Copies of this chain bind each other. A is one copy, B any other.
Amino acid sequence: MASEQTVHMNGGQGDTSYARNSSLQNAEQNRMRPLIEEAIADLLSASASMPRSMVVADLGCSSGPNALALVSIAVDAIRGQCFRSRQPPLEVCVFLNDLPDNDFNMVMKSLVAFQQGHRSVVTGVIPGSFYGRLFTTGSLHLACSANSLHWLSEAPEELRRNKIPAYDIDEHVRRGRRRVVIGAYARQFRKDFKLFLELRAKELVAGGRLVVSLAGRRSEEPAAEFTHAWESVVLILSEMASKGVINKSKV
Contact = CB atoms under 8 A, between A and B. Distances in A.
Contact of A53 (B108, B125, B136): B136
A93 interface: yes
A122 B126 contact: yes
A100 B109 CA distance: 6
A105 B112 CA distance: 17
A100 B91 contact: no
Number of copies: 2
A5 to B, nearest CB: 9
A206 to B, nearest CB: 13
Contact of A93 (B92, B104, B111, B136): B136
Interface residues of A, number: 32
A65 interface: no
A95 interface: yes
Interface stretch (A127-135, A169-177, A236-244): A127-135
A72 interface: no
